[in-house]
A = this chain, B = another copy of it.
Amino acid sequence: MPRLRLNISMSLDGYVAGPNQSLENPLGEGGEALHEWVVVTRSFRRIHGSEDESGETGADDDVMAESFANLGSSIMGRNMFGGGPGPWAAEPWKGWWGDDPPFHHPVFVLTNHAREPLEMQGGTTFHFVTEGIEAALERARQAAGDGDVGLGGGAEAARQYLRAGLVDDMQIHVAPVLLGGGARLFEDVGDVRSRYEPLGLVSSPAVAHYRYRRVT
């Protein structure tokens, strides 16, 4: 069965987005610093269409490549798709992933508001799921083929899957950033102590990557 793999960047003080998230500032105040280690990697540039040899290699690049490897579908919260509350507009916007999103597979977006699937360039189709996290996971597993299901956030989506005990593997990337507030990851997530086994950590001077596997 496809595994549900959570991959998310977190500040040292435990936040996966800064305070005051908004349409203009989707990562919250200071939140972009969580992802500085990502955008400099060669794998990130490749995923975003670069065909040259630019970008850094090394431990972070290896982790970044692995986090995207062997995924057949993904799940994300509405905040991570495009933010904003309430019903979709008559001509709703297409999220902040651009015309050719980096997923290249079906993406299931958790929302309370139904919407037709949105087919983008490059193989990414956003499906909007209103029936909750278990329905989204079921559909994502069916769509994943031989691959796994990726889960990246936002905080509320990640917390819901953790709380329900549905995350099989997780890799938490702790950046040396203090945000002082925002969206916490490890808050009301159930008994993670007995549920997960640590598989060690690797790090660069920019970020440390902590890996866990579900044992129960």
The interface of chain A, by Cβ under 8 A from chain B, is 12-14, 18, 29-30, 172, 174, 176-181, 185-186, 189-194, 196, 198, 200-203, 205, 207-208, 210-212
How many copies of this kind of chain does the complex include? 2
Complex CA–CA separation, A189 to B13 (angstroms): 10
Complex CA–CA separation, A179 to B180 (angstroms): 21
Complex CA–CA separation, A107 to B139 (angstroms): 59
> What are 21 sample pairs from A and B whose C-beta atoms fall under 8 A apart?
A12-B174, A12-B186, A12-B210, A13-B185, A13-B186, A18-B193, A174-B208, A174-B210, A176-B198, A176-B200, A176-B201, A176-B210, A178-B186, A178-B192, A178-B198, A178-B212, A180-B192, A180-B194, A200-B205, A201-B207, A203-B203
**Hey, which chain B residues are within 8 Å of A212, CB to CB?**
176, 178
